Amino acid sequence: MDLQWSPILTDQLLAWSQEILLYQSEDCEPLPAKLRPGCTRVSNQKALTVVAKLSDYPFPKVIDAYPGTDGEGMIALGLANGKVILSTFGSTVVSKEFVPKHTRQVNSLQWNRANPNFLAVGLDKARSDYAVSIWDVTLGSKYVNGYHSDVLRPKIELGISETANSVAWVQARSLLVGMNGKHIKLFDLRDSQPKLSNTATTKAVFGICVDNVCNHRVASFAENQVFVWDTRNFEKPFLILNHSKHVSKLGWCPTRAGLLACLEKDSSSITLHDVNHAVMSTEEGEPAVLERRLTPAYPTELESADSTTVLSSFAWHPTEEHLITTATFNGVMWSSFVYERLTLNWSPTSILGWSDGKRMINFIDNTDELYTVLDDISVKMKHRAKNGYGLKAQLRDNGTTVEDDEDLKNLWTWLDFCKTLTEKEKNRLPSISTVTFPGAQTVLKMESNGSGGVTSTLKSEIINNSSFDLRNSKTYRSDERSFVQQLCGWSVESIHDLQGTPTRKAAIALFHLKLRLAIKILNESDNSIVAMAIAGFSDDQNSLWRELALSKFSALSDPYIRAIFAFLTEADSNYETILHESELTVADRLGFACSFLPDAKLVNFVQDISNDMIKKGNLYGILLTGMTPQSIPLLQRYLNLTADVQSVAVLAIRTMASDIASSAILKLDLLDSWKLWDERAEFDILKNRNNPALIPQPEVTVSCNFCGKSISAPGVPGIGRSTQIFSRFITTDVKLKLSETLAALLHMPTTHGNHSWSGTEQPVVDMYKIGACPEALSWYTWCQTCRHGGHTVHLQQWFRTQAECPVSGCTCKCINLDRVLEFPS
């Protein structure tokens, strides 16, 4: 069975095998609703009904529906005996025959879409006869050799004693013919004598079809290969598509440029090639094509076909976008939609749009409820930028603009605290004397050893706490450890002022070996039962208290209570349970480690937890790395996970200067795209103030033609623009050689920003008394032909009475080449 949708009556479908059937397409109830008798379902909402039948011409070789509006329902049939018959399904049968001189099979025929009265027919080979006949179906009887004849003759004949394997019209007056199994010939039919305009040597002469949307693109096939040609460069195909089986039919989508459907023999699916997406993928320039398979999704109620049923043909719908109808050998037809790959478009102003082919489906923006599902970080960044995020003078004040992000809020608070603490302690600790925002790695003097490990010169004092009734009560002390604990917010003098829950305060008191204080804090809260439990603490390894605590504390829900019991029941000095308790904050684990781990173990712990924080992109890792170059991998990982380029940029600008130039540029681009010009200017000022090295250098300079020294205003590294001092680069020996104006012999001004006239001679016109644009009079103007020039006011005066250039020996008619603007004087 073969198929074709009518090009004019687009709700009618032709199907033929033993007989020719005309179907009418109509809407129907969606599945699982039943159809009325005589209807055949071809999709969920479409059904076909047979409205006419032709049985007079069994097993036609080829059929093409008439594309004109004056013969609705007419079709051309090519038969095995070479006859071409025009017929209709109407009550008034219109029939006309075109008969070749010699009987042979019709291989191909096609109506001319631009001139529907022309019909091209491709025939098998016959000696001394033509392979291609082009008929004008509007002509009646023909006057031949002086006699009237009832036999119609072709208007044009091509290819004597040759075989036409397939034919296809290109535009209105050009015809492609696959001939003799080895050539594709392009004929120009505009003149009375057809001309062969181009030839391609190829075995792919079958199924020639032209992309109606882009008519210089042609496809043909041979065996298991499909060739795609460009008629503007017809020497070789620009694309060869290989298939696993022999190809039986090709067809371009009539509503979408570059979408080619290919049906293989004994296949249950159609291969779709998107040649518009061909890209240069190899050095030889071989194009790659997007390819996908279309398998008809037959409903389960249809018992005569499934996903493995072999297809016999297909037909694109001429007007309905991406609709293709397939047929099986047992007559089952089904229509499918070829959905476009969705193209998402996301604007910087938080508008998301996606399209399907030529139709726009939807737009949503950040005011839409559906948009909230996307959790678009750019919406937050824009809101924060409007609130001055990162630009506030006090670092902790920036945390108030990120109330919705606890991690960022705590980070800005910590940075403010760290800066104050460092200013206070930097004279006591040499390791932080040059760092404003040190982390544990910097304070503990950790450095990479070049082989992936770290070394440290940290020296700590061992303290045996005999007052505490715990065997493993040995602790370590040093100025560096104390400073790190202060960065962690630990202070035994003000435990009641610590932030967090009572259990956290109690745990920190216990880690400072203040057991009674820990019990008191718990007893004063809702944890009196826990206070009573630890009040019975015994360090005896065989005590009932220890045995019960070891067996039950891991089931407790509060991580700080678990840490309390883990500390009291610790059998050795490794404290692995507490150090790897993920529900404890990084600050509390680090503070604990600074008290109870020896130097080597402390350094390894800090390195391990730093690597873990970097891997997770957790900003609490700043406590370990500080805002130093060691934090760059952490910030990069955070940026990769959250896309929060704004926070990375403002954090780095406020703390690290030149190490983050790229993030700052991205931040500037964002502000520009949001049209937040004031915020952009404030960010620029902050960036340049904190790091003058980021100030862009001028891209255009002016230099002396004689000595080569610059006379423009270069940026001075390390000095703000407001304090830059420019000096003249004019030496005494060069001063007299500099360009002089032709009338006043006044030197060109340098970039001092003053507009006064140099020299002792005063200008002829008092420019301060001129009404319009007085600055223009001091501009330096020159002729684009002879390159001579001077001050505008002097040139204006000269050319009022002269036509030639004022330079001696120059005959250029400057005033006749360009019009000099007249400024009021």
| Residue-wise DSSP of 431-491 | GGTT-SS--HHHHTTEEE-SSS-EEE----EEEE-TTSS-TT-EEEE-HHHHHHHHHTT--
- The answer on pLDDT for 314 being more than 90 is yes
| 18-32, 100-114, 215-229, 697-711: range with lowest mean pLDDT | 697-711
Residue 172 forms part of a structural domain? no
pLDDT band with cut points at 50, 70 and 90 for residue 138: confident
Predicted confidence at residue 471, as pLDDT, reads: 56
Q: Evaluate if residue 217 carries a pLDDT over 50.
A: yes
Residues 542, 545, 546, 551, CA torsion sign = positive
Rg (CA), the chain: 44
Mean pLDDT of all residues belonging to the chain: 81
Q: Are residues 633 and 778 in the same domain?
A: no
Percent of the chain topping pLDDT 90: 33
Q: Is the pLDDT of residue 43 over 80?
A: yes
What is the C-alpha to C-alpha distance for residues 631 and 619, in angstroms, rounded to an integer?
10
pLDDT at site 694:
64
In a domain, 63, yes or no: no
pLDDT for position 622 = 93
Q: What is the pLDDT of residue 742?
A: 44
Whether the CB-CB separation of 337 and 326 falls below 8 Å is answered with: no
Q: How far is CA 394 from CA 397, 433, 612, 688, in A?
A: 5, 22, 30, 18
In a domain, 529, yes or no: yes
> DSSP assignment, residue 512?
T
Nearest alpha-carbon partner for 503 in 588, 565, 561, 587: 561
pLDDT tens sequence across 452-503: 778 888 888 888 876 565 656 788 999 999 999 999 988 766 666 677 788 9
**pLDDT at res. 722:** 37
User: Are residues 636 and 745 located together in one domain of the fold?
Assistant: no
**Are 541 and 627 part of one and the same domain?**
yes
Give residue 737's pLDDT.
38
Output the pLDDT for position 658.
Answer: 53
- Asked whether residue 719 carries a pLDDT value surpassing 80, the answer given is no
Identify each DSSP E strand in 171-230 by its residue range: 174-179, 183-188, 195-201, 206-210, 217-222, 225-230
Determine which of 413-422, 585-594, 700-709, 772-781 has the lowest per-residue pLDDT on average: 700-709
Name the phi and psi angles at 398, rounded to 5. -70, -25
Q: How much is the pLDDT for 732?
A: 44
Amino acid letter for position 391? L
For residue 165, the model assigns a pLDDT of 94
Paired with 314 in beta bridges are 326
Task: Verify that 506 and 629 share a domain, yes or no.
Answer: yes
Question: Residue 680's closest CA among 720, 649, 659, 655?
Answer: 649
**pLDDT per position as a tens digit, 366-405:** 888 888 888 888 888 889 999 999 888 899 999 999 988 8
Specify whether the CB–CB gap between 564 and 507 falls below 8 A: yes
Task: For residue 810, tell me if it sits in a domain.
Answer: yes
Q: What mean pLDDT comes out for the span 128-136?
A: 91
Residue-number span of the structural domain to which 755 is assigned: 739-825
What's the structural domain count of the chain? Answer: 3
From the list 636, 676, 682, 689, the residue with the least C-alpha distance to 659 is 636
pLDDT the model gives residue 128: 85
562 occurs within a structural domain: yes
Sign of CA dihedral 671, 675, 676, 682: positive
Q: Is residue 32 part of a domain?
A: no
- 631 with 753, same domain: the answer is no
Q: What is the pLDDT of residue 142?
A: 45
pLDDT (0 to 100) of residue 151: 59
Domain final position from 644, 670, 687? 644
Model confidence band, residue 18 (pLDDT cutoffs 50, 70, 90): confident
Burial class (CB in 10 A: 0-12, 13-18, 19+), 407: middle
The whole-number pLDDT of residue 163 equals 94
pLDDT of residue 357: 63
**Pick from 343, 477, 545, 685: which is nearest to 492 by CA?**
477
Contact between 96 and 137 under an 8 Å Cβ cutoff? The reply is yes
Q: What is the mean pLDDT of residues 188-200?
A: 90
Query: What is 112-157 written as a DSSP string?
Result: -SSSTTEEEEEE---TTSEEEEEEETT--SEEETTEEESS---SEE
Rounded Cα distance between 202 and 212, Å, is 23
* Domain assignment of residue 48, yes or no: no
Q: Each residue of 686-695: pLDDT tens digit?
A: 887 776 666 6
pLDDT of residue 764: 43
Determine the pLDDT at residue 270.
95
State the chain's maximal CA–CA distance in angstroms. Answer: 137
Q: What is the pLDDT of residues 323-378, one digit of tens each?
A: 999 999 988 999 998 887 777 888 888 888 887 666 667 788 888 888 888 888 88
pLDDT at residue 93 in the model: 55
**Percent of the chain whose pLDDT exceeds 70:** 81
Neighbours of 643 (CB within 10 A): 13
Query: Does the pLDDT value for residue 226 go beyond 90?
Result: yes
Rounded CA separation 641/660 (Å): 18
Same domain for 592 and 447: yes
Which range, of 82-86, 264-268, 333-337, 791-795, averages the lowest pLDDT? 791-795
Closest CA to 120 of 217, 213, 59, 194: 194
Residue 711, pLDDT above cutoff 90: no
Confidence of residue 308 (pLDDT cuts 50, 70, 90): confident
User: How crowded is residue 169: how many other Cβ atoms within 10 Å of its Cβ?
Assistant: 22
Strands 39-41 and 46-54: antiparallel
Q: Which residues contact 91 (CB under 8 A, 6 or more apart)?
A: none
Q: Calculate mean pLDDT across residues 615-625.
A: 93
Check if the beta carbon of residue 603 is closer than 8 Å to that of residue 505: no
pLDDT at 709: 55
The two structure tokens encoding residue 536: 């019975």
* DSSP conformational letter for 510: H
Q: What is the pLDDT of residue 287?
A: 59
Domain assignment of residue 443, yes or no:
yes
Task: Say which amino acid occupies 277.
Answer: H
Where is the domain boundary, 644, 665, 694? 644
For the chain, the residue count is 825
Q: So what's the pLDDT on residue 206?
A: 96
**Do 362 and 451 have their domain in common?**
no
pLDDT band at 517 (very low <50, low <70, confident <90, very high): confident
pLDDT-derived band at 768, boundaries 50, 70, 90: very low
DSSP 238: S
Which has more pLDDT, 747 or 522?
522
Return the SS3 of 660: helix
CA 163/CA 126 separation, integer angstroms: 8
Boundary of a domain, candidates 619, 644, 669: 644
**Distance (Å, whole) CA 204 – CA 187:** 18
Q: What is the mean pLDDT of residues 678-697?
A: 78
Clarify whether residues 364 and 467 are in a common domain.
Answer: no
pTM attached to this predicted model: 0.59
Same domain, 744 and 624: no
- Is-contact 713 726, C-beta < 8 A? yes
422: left (phi over 0), alpha (psi -120 to 50) or beta: alpha
Whether residue 445 sits in one domain with residue 362: no
**Together in a domain, 485 and 353:** no
pLDDT for 705: 42
Question: Averaged over 301-322, what is the pLDDT?
Answer: 87
Nearest to 208 by CA among 260, 272, 161: 260
- Predicted confidence at residue 185, as pLDDT, reads 94
Amino acid at the residue 768 = Y
The alpha carbon of residue 399 and the mean position of all alpha carbons in its chain are separated, in whole angstroms, by 32
How far apart, in whole angstroms, are the C-alpha atoms of residue 565 and residue 578? 10
Distance of CA 527 to the CA centre of its chain: 55
Of 274-288, 598-612, 787-801, the one with minimum mean pLDDT is 274-288
Q: Are residues 358 and 486 in the same domain?
A: no
